């Protein structure tokens, strides 16, 4: 049972790390000025669609200070906390057995 739990934690952690790198790529692309609508290719579209999916729940919260958008920072914090919370929850469930 512990091996399965560790594998699940590793999977969730890996997915969150990949999503963090996608957010970093999105941020760098926005600084460079790449627009997915004018410079469209499939990889760029996938990066923007994935990062929009991640940041969409946080866009409802007013996180802009002037031209600075703090939405990616909140998304990074959340993506960093998800594996830790998942591991704590999973180990507490396993400990209950």
Determine, yes or no, domain membership for 97. no
Determine, yes or no, domain membership for 35. yes
pLDDT digit string, tens, across residues 4-26: 989 999 999 999 999 999 999 99
Give the pLDDT band of residue 39 (cuts 50, 70, 90). low
Determine, yes or no, domain membership for 96. no
List the structure tokens of 6: 């560790």
CB 82 within 8 A of CB 16: yes
In this structure, what DSSP letter does residue 34 have?
Answer: -
The number of distinct structural domains making up the chain is 1
C-alpha to C-alpha distance for 18 and 24, rounded to whole angstroms = 10
Domain housing 7: 2-91
Determine, yes or no, domain membership for 75. yes
Determine, yes or no, domain membership for 43. yes
pLDDT at position 97 is: 58
C-alpha to C-alpha distance for 74 and 57, rounded to whole angstroms = 10
C-alpha to C-alpha distance for 86 and 13, rounded to whole angstroms = 9
């Amino acid at each position: 049972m512990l091996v399965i739990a560790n594998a699940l934690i590793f999977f969730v952690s890996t997915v969150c790390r990949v999503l963090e790198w996608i957010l970093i790529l999105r941020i760098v692309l926005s600084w460079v000025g790449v627009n997915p609508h004018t410079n469209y290719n499939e990889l760029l579209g996938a990066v923007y669609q994935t990062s929009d999916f991640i940041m969409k729940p946080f866009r409802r919260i007013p996180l802009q200070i002037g031209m600075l958008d703090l939405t990616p920072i909140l998304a990074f914090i959340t993506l960093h906390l998800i594996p830790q919370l998942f591991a704590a929850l999973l180990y507490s469930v396993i400990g209950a057995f």
